A and B are shown apart, each in its own frame.
Chain A
């Protein structure tokens, strides 16, 4: 895989810990994470269930507060922002792809893709034009664009989710198990599109997965266990953390 790294840092995490609960019942999900993600890089977080992968991307994406440490995303610390500024920052700069797609069931594929733009206050007509353009890149024809999610296959739904993640040109995309609900061939297609479309415009991608079949799409792999990053692998080279 050709490395797409530039030297700009998209995400910089230092000493991140996250504890759920208090006292004897508390659980430390993250135990001192140091991590950098570069602009133009696709980083995969891999590891067994419960190792803290999802907690880490939640902290990086600013939807979960860390307990300790620092997490700077494009020179901003979201935890230090007030709620409205943080929400706005997330809306403008971060795209999400979920394991279960999370497409709004009563909206068409086109409308689903337009949602992030509508949240940002773009006019509906403009948002739909841009959504159409993105879905076109994802090989959707007009009929599919006007279909409800329930009428699309899993792979098509994940492509819609991918379109929704990139439509507003965010600088960071976080994906949680984007291929786990898909068969092998469809999963590979989605990853090809994800890499092709998402990395087009100088952004960073963080993908949580335990699907070994897609590891070769990563520029770098961070292996996690028990709330820690155990090692990094870059272009097939293993570096212990």
Chain B
């Protein structure tokens, strides 16, 4: 049963009352996170060696964060980080010490390979199916550079349509998923990296097609 406001819990032999539910996205870890004041937290989880994960500090407006960090470090002998530094430290923790990047990386790599294979195969099949038309155009005087530009234009159009469908679909999905526990963020680098990958896949596919068409003998048009 999920918790709701007003529920009473027992935390390490102490009574705790739920006064609010934090809306957040689902994390990679399965431990529940409880937010409370520092004083209460010390009562629920008394100070033990290495039990304390982090303390959230809100700086006064106009406070120099680096100066504050140095003061906290001097007073507590604990490491103090700004929000950005903490974010990057968390990011690198997951990158270095968990299997998440490897698993996601393998999934992404496989998607890339499968996507490239499907795109390449589709383009190649298109080329084979239309060889006699390419041959016809060649026989009628179309130069290799004209056919090269035609294929390139097709690859660009396919890339733009595919990119639009992919990124557009992901954006729409992300929009409707926002505010739910399945929420996720599209950082600005993601569409750029995706565009680069799409360009790479389309270029490879077009190259296969172009190679076949450039080598095509126009005499193929008379073969039934």
Contact = CB atoms under 8 A, between A and B. Distances in A.
B213 to A, nearest CB: 14
Contacts of A200: none
A86 to B, nearest CB: 9
Nearest to A54: B222
Contacts of B224: 99-100
A79 interface: no
Contact of B142 (A64, A91, A92): A91
B133 A119 contact: no
B208 to A, nearest CB: 22
B146 interface: yes
A96 B140 contact: yes
Contacts of A90: 139-141
Contact of B143 (A87, A96, A116): A87
B216 to A, nearest CB: 11
A67 to B, nearest CB: 14
Interface string A81-112: 00110011011101010111010110000000
From B132, B138, B219, name the one whose CB has the most chain A CB atoms within 10 angstroms: B219
Contacts of B138: 63, 87
Interface string B194-205: 000000000000
Size category of the A interface is: 20 to 34
Contacts, number: 60
Interface residue SS majority, chain B: helix
A119 B142 contact: yes
B218 A63 contact: yes
A76 to B, nearest CB: 14
Nearest to B140: A116
Interface in B137-152: 137-144, 146
Given A104-B133, A119-B146, A98 B221 contact: yes
7 contacts: A63-B138, A87-B138, A90-B139, A99-B224, A102-B132, A104-B133, A116-B140
Interface of B: 132-133, 136-144, 146, 217-219, 221-224
Given A58-B219, A64-B219, 20 more contacts: A57-B222, A58-B222, A63-B138, A63-B218, A63-B219, A63-B221, A84-B143, A88-B141, A90-B140, A92-B141, A94-B141, A98-B136, A98-B221, A99-B224, A100-B132, A102-B133, A104-B133, A105-B133, A116-B140, A176-B222
Interface of A: 54, 57-58, 61, 63-64, 83-84, 87-88, 90-92, 94, 96, 98-100, 102, 104-105, 115-116, 119-120, 164, 176
Q: Which 4 A-B pairs have the closest CB atoms?
A: A91-B141, A63-B218, A64-B219, A102-B136
